[in-house]
Structure 1
Amino acid sequence: MAAPAEAKYTEETVLWVKHHTPKLITFAISRPEAYRFAAGQFSRLGFRDGAGFIWRAYSVVSAEYADTLEYFAVLIEEGPMSAKFAEMQAGDSILLDKTATGFLLPERFPDGKDLIMLCTGSGIAPFLSMLEQPEIWQRFEHLALAHSVSHADELIFNERIAALAEHPLIEEYFHKLSFVPVTTRQPGGTLHGKRLPELLKNGSLAHAFGLEFSPENSRFMICGNPAMVKDTFQALLDMGFAMHRNRVPGQIMMENGF
């Protein structure tokens, strides 16, 4: 992939790297003073690679007001970007496109009382950023997050989400959150053995959230692997919900996460 013109990116410093499992890492990089993003958007990160560059998009995990930029990545076997991440250490250099992009933004919904966030794997990243924004807690009556993974050791953000109960900007609203971890291949989540589309269809997810889904009140955001996004979107269509478009308001927004 061709690199942006040099004026369009900055060279940043890797501040820390944490390997949670052989395939899951989180890391933080320095944040340019001028860098702006909205919770739910992604950055383009890159490395010099021989005579060229490699670039990939990663959703920002950090709050909009954070001093650093944090990301979550799933390492893919034989993936060129994953190979770079696997060797990355604090102090290394990384390239950051100056412009954040993406439209998975809760403020695009003009109405609704309940925000339901459905994700697999690294698709949780934009929702972690959203949950650190006081505005989202103030706007919605209920926030519901389901994070689906294969194995229990991949639920690496459970403690981080629980810690929001003591976040100085969030603690007074924390009672609004229902968090349901899901494991598809082994016990360990609140729900296990089925994918998110099936849990929607059979009512298990609504029951676990303690919510009744309705076009009037429910607003869904979906992020994760393309198969889950496609199947979950179809399940919601079958349940009577519609895609949100700027000129035709609906109840569903979605984005593929890799």
Structure 2
Amino acid sequence: MASSPEAKYTEETVLWVKRHTPKLMTFAVSRPEAYRFSAGQFSRLGFRDGEGFIWRAYSVVSAEYADTLEYFTVLIEGGPMSVKFAHMQAGDTILLDKTATGFLLPERFQDGRDLVMLCTGSGIAPFLSILEQPEIWQRFDRLALAHSVSRADELIFNDRIAALSEHPLVGEYFGKLTFQPVLTRDQTDGALCGKRLPALISDGTLAAAFGMAFTQADTRFMLCGNPDMVKDTFQALLDKGFAMHRNRIPGHILMENGF
């Protein structure tokens, strides 16, 4: 006998909502005591919609040990979930699938000294979670994160990343991290401007900005973002001799589409 839909989800409370721009928002929901996930995984969130339900996957921003579950979303005009989120307020109810999933997990790499995380838009979410795990800082000699967006006001996590230097669990390792903002349609100090991530990889600009050489022996890549970015960045890495990591065939690249 199939399980009833109610057996597969819990009803959670929206704790807070922050709208950073007309399109970008973060929010947190209550976390069931039994809910487990690994940093890099995503949750399925949902709402009742007429006589049925609407569900979408969102990477968890929170650390594995956090008491609440935080998420980041880019609102899409006319998108069914975006319409719901646009009106969502603290105190509302949201549905949470009981099972987290996803394979964008740094522990899948069996070797490597440098971890390079490349993302666009909301694709930064899983990396924010990963960076709050002490194990990741202990495992790798160097960490590098590039977040590519169109406009400067979309770089909403710069201060959060800088604050990791004071984090009680990972702050002592903060010197291992290089964070590089990327802007494709804007200019601001400290960012690489005017090029997409694939081009910055192909011409060596990104490696230079990180102050590291990308090598098959040492460098492992994780990609998360819009499908075009993931596809094109993957190809740029293939062109440099890197390969997809598979469970039975170790490689250099893990990737996941995010929106």
Q: Same fold (TM over 0.5)?
A: yes
Asked if structure 2 preserves the Cα contact closer than 8 Å seen for 1:197 and 1:232, the reply is yes
Deviation at 1:5, TM superposition (A): 1.5
Q: Is residue 26 of structure 2 the alignment partner of residue 26 of structure 1?
A: yes
Asked if structure 2 preserves the Cα contact closer than 8 Å seen for 1:143 and 1:178, the reply is yes
Distance in 1 of aligned mates of 2:184 and 2:31: 36
Deviation at 1:4, TM superposition (A): 7.3
Deviation at 1:104, TM superposition (A): 0.2
Q: Which residue of 2 aligns with 1:180?
A: 180
SS in 2 for 1:153: helix
SS in 2 for 1:214: coil
Q: State the Cα deviation string for residues 85-140 of structure 1 (Å, max 9, x = none).
A: 00000000000000000000000000000000000000000000000000000000
Q: Is residue 142 of structure 2 the alignment partner of residue 142 of structure 1?
A: yes
Asked if structure 2 preserves the Cα contact closer than 8 Å seen for 1:15 and 1:29, the reply is yes
Q: Is residue 90 of structure 2 the alignment partner of residue 90 of structure 1?
A: yes
Q: Which residue of 2 aligns with 1:37?
A: 37
Q: Is residue 59 of structure 2 the alignment partner of residue 59 of structure 1?
A: yes
Asked if structure 2 preserves the Cα contact closer than 8 Å seen for 1:40 and 1:130, the reply is yes
SS in 1 for 2:81: helix
Q: Counterparts of 1:69-88 in structure 2 under 5 Å?
A: 69-88=69-88
Q: State the Cα deviation string for residues 165-193 of structure 1 (Å, max 9, x = none).
A: 00010111000000000000010252010
Distance in 2 of aligned mates of 1:127 and 1:171: 16
Q: State the Cα deviation string for residues 189-224 of structure 1 (Å, max 9, x = none).
A: 520100000000011100000000000000000000
Aligned residues: 256
Q: Which residue of 1 aligns with 2:206?
A: 205
2:91 alignment partner AA: G
1:109 alignment partner AA: F
1:209 alignment partner AA: F
- Alpha carbons of 1:74 and 1:168: their partners in 2 closer, same or farther (altered >3 Å)? same
Distance in 1 of aligned mates of 2:127 and 2:186: 24
TM-score by length of 2: 0.98
Q: Counterparts of 1:114-125 in structure 2 under 5 Å?
A: 114-125=114-125
Q: Which residue of 2 aligns with 1:257?
A: 258
Distance in 1 of aligned mates of 2:172 and 2:246: 32
| Deviation beyond 6 Å, 4+ runs, structure 1 | none
SS in 2 for 1:159: helix
TM-score by length of 1: 0.98
1:115 alignment partner AA: L
- Alpha carbons of 1:4 and 1:200: their partners in 2 closer, same or farther (altered >3 Å)? farther
- Alpha carbons of 1:151 and 1:159: their partners in 2 closer, same or farther (altered >3 Å)? same
Asked if structure 2 preserves the Cα contact closer than 8 Å seen for 1:121 and 1:149, the reply is yes
Distance in 2 of aligned mates of 1:213 and 1:129: 24
Distance in 1 of aligned mates of 2:74 and 2:14: 17
Q: Which residue of 2 aligns with 1:103?
A: 103
2:226 alignment partner AA: N
Distance in 2 of aligned mates of 1:256 and 1:113: 25
Q: Which residue of 1 aligns with 2:219?
A: 218
Of all paired residues, the percent bearing the same amino acid is: 80
SS in 2 for 1:112: coil
Gaps of 5+ in 1: none
Asked if structure 2 preserves the Cα contact closer than 8 Å seen for 1:4 and 1:97, the reply is no
Q: Which residue of 2 aligns with 1:237?
A: 238
